Amino acid sequence: MIMKGKKGVILGIANNKSIAYGIAKQCQEQGAEIAITFLNERFEKKLAPIAEDLGCSGKLYPCDVSNPDEIKALKESLEKDMGEIDFIVHSIAFAPKEGLTGRFTDITKDAFEVAMNISVYSLIEITQVLKPIMSKNSSVLTLSYYGGDKYIPNYNLMGVAKAALEMTVKYMAEDLGKDGIRVNAISAGPIKTLAAAGIGEFRFMLKWNEAHSPMKKNVTTTEVGNSGMYLLSDLSSAVTGEVHYVDGGYNIMGMPAVSFDEEGKQSIAWNGEK
């Protein structure tokens, strides 16, 4: 039981397809005591059976990260019900639709601010507010995507947010290392979730990644969950400030690999076909 004795909070479970659910499940199976959050009343009902499944029915709290009072209230609830915590999972992102389609240079200031506040600043604010109840051997984990490092069609505003998030992880890691708090990100390959449904041509992204990653497959929430659990556990006690790719190796590819057709001629699968 790798996570036995560890307690933590996981933000960003929308349903059992969420990446945060995959992380929560692996943590629970390895003995962690977890709390989870929901965005608003509509999601409270949906999350009740998931909380039961994760063994944390009594620890399901509201937290819209755009509302500082809800973050403060979350800290009070966690302190009352769990005392100290050892980990935080931040698996949250949002950009207005206009930021995920059309021409990049048409993005408005309003959309930019919303995306940066919810997808980036919230990681700082949550850690800031929860720090007084974090143990001296804690781990913070957030979720990124390759579109924060290289251009990805339609990812637009979220690409800029993920770039900022990845640097935020590094600055936070330096700042909090002396307090015994590690901060890391997982850059996950594309997975069909609610958030992913907002990204144009997402099905093509899945096909493309499967065809062109070294492992010739897409990743699952269980695989991301296992890597997440490692980064939250003492197995990664000397790892901080990292952006750890869990993407079947897709990020190492500089060009699609050459494949051969039936006549032995070299061909490149430009259309996402293997």
Q: Which residues bind ligand NAP (CB under 6 A)?
A: 12-14, 18-20, 39, 43, 63-66, 91-94, 118, 143-145, 188, 190-191, 193-196
Catalytic annotation, pick one of 61, 145, 146, 245: 145
Closer to ligand NAP by CB, 92 or 231: give it.
92
Minimum gap (Å) between residue 122 Cβ and ligand NAP: 7
Three-class DSSP category at 147 = helix
Residue 121 designated active-site = no
Distant-in-sequence, close-in-space partners of 26: CB < 8 Å, separation ≥ 6: 222, 225, 226, 228, 229
Closer to ligand NAP by CB, 45 or 136: give it.
45
Catalytic annotation, pick one of 61, 146, 155, 245: 155
Minimum gap (Å) between residue 70 Cβ and ligand NAP: 8
Distance CA 81, CA 32 (A): 15
Closer to ligand NAP by CB, 112 or 234: give it.
112
Minimum gap (Å) between residue 176 Cβ and ligand NAP: 20
Residue 151 designated active-site = no
Distance CA 143, CA 97 (A): 20
Query: At 252, which amino acid appears?
Result: I
Distance CA 228, CA 192 (A): 18
Distance CA 156, CA 147 (A): 8
Q: Which residues are catalytic?
A: 145, 155
